[in-house]
Structure 1
Amino acid sequence: MTNHSPYHYLDIGNAGEDLVAHWLQSQGWIILDRRWRCRWGEIDIVALYAEQIKDREVFSDGESLILDSPHHPITPSPHLPITPSPTLAFVEVKTRSPNNWDAGGRNAIASSKQVKLWRTAQMFLVAHPDKADYLCRFDVAIVSYQQISTQSSGDKFKEKNLISSPIAGYKLTLQEYINAAFDIVQ
């Protein structure tokens, strides 16, 4: 009888996505969707970052107004830049064991995968036309996992990682988050 781990491939992938979604939220991102699917493929995480600028309002014609004191309720401000458009990140999460065959998932983002993600992102924007004018980018998150040893003598050195979490006998670690990992393919 084979001793199978408590996680199979899909569950480890889901746990990696959970870790990345948690980290993104801690960085101020809003998770709009997880495992969004269409006929072209799936996007692991769709996240939105909209920087809030206090006391400023931007209107649809692009004019920026500053909200002042009661003496000057609304005063145009030529000195403040227009609020940047919100950023929409289509995040591909690669969860791998250490020393795996594809460099931690980096080699799995070949041009064919990029085209698939690009088409899927286009379909997401068609399904959500209110987000069609947002800045869009494709990010890649590299997550590693390894079984936690019951005879561990503790960490001999501190790892430099973004976030890590123990789950069901495994340690998942967000090793790298690559902003705008590839250009939009046409």
Structure 2
Amino acid sequence: MHCKNSGQLGEDLVAQWLQSTGWIILHRRFSSRWGEIDIIAQHDGGTGKEQGSKREYPTPHSPLPTPHSLLAFVEVKTRSSGSWDAGGRSAITPQKQAKIWRTAGIFLAQYPEKADYSCRFDVAIVYCQRISKNLSGVTANQEALATSSVAEYKFKLQEYILAAFDSLTDNG
């Protein structure tokens, strides 16, 4: 991928999308000696769980924490088409998951007022593609959750996987 800072631009897109769905961004690129978490977000009052086949996204947050307060530790994978690692999914190895778990523990130790919140580990898949000036034909494409363009590149939040570590562990 030739886009400079593509990882940061992908994280920007995900953070903006989370905020638009009622989340508060607490930290970006929170790091410890164990590793880094791209985004740590908080939502108060919603479950963020799926009901049936339709996703229930959080509603705007309430000012005070509620019994349903939730922290999401979000790993963002920004890739160009044809990436070798299944769009970033394969890069979330058990070792990477363990680093994120440990870093989340450091975060909770530094912010003990958040220790009673429900926590989950999500993964956002962002595709980056160069915008061609000579577009010809029609290409079929899955609808994105959010998009942004920077210079000659387009970023698409293609997939947001809730509680991804469980599903990656179960399927991997």
Instruction: Name the TM tier (shorter chain).
Output: 0.7 to 0.9
> Is structure 2 residue 72 aligned with structure 1 residue 96?
no
Gaps of 5+ in 2: 47-58
1:154 and 1:37 mapped to 2: Cα distance? Answer: 44
- Aligned-pair RMSD on alpha carbons? 2.4
Poorly superposed stretches of 4+, deviation over 4 Å: 153-158
User: Which residue does 2:15 correspond to in 1?
Assistant: 21
1:16-95 aligned at under 5 Å gives the runs 16-51=10-45, 84-95=67-78
Q: Alpha-carbon deviations, 1:34-68, whole Å to 9, x = none?
A: 00011111100000010289xxxx9xxxxxxxxxx
When Rg is computed on C-alpha atoms for both structures, the one with the higher figure is 1
User: Which residue does 1:75 correspond to in 2?
Assistant: none
Gaps of 5+ in 1: 59-82
Count the aligned residue pairs: 151
Aligned partner of 1:164 among 147, 153, 156: 147
Quote how far apart the aligned CAs of 1:152 are.
Answer: 1.9
Q: Alpha-carbon deviations, 1:75-102, whole Å to 9, x = none?
A: xxxxxxxx53300000000000001100
Residues 123 and 113 from structure 1, CA distance in 2 versus in 1: closer, same or farther, beyond 3 angstroms?
same
The secondary structure found in structure 2 opposite 1:51 is coil
- What code does the residue aligned with 1:38 have? S
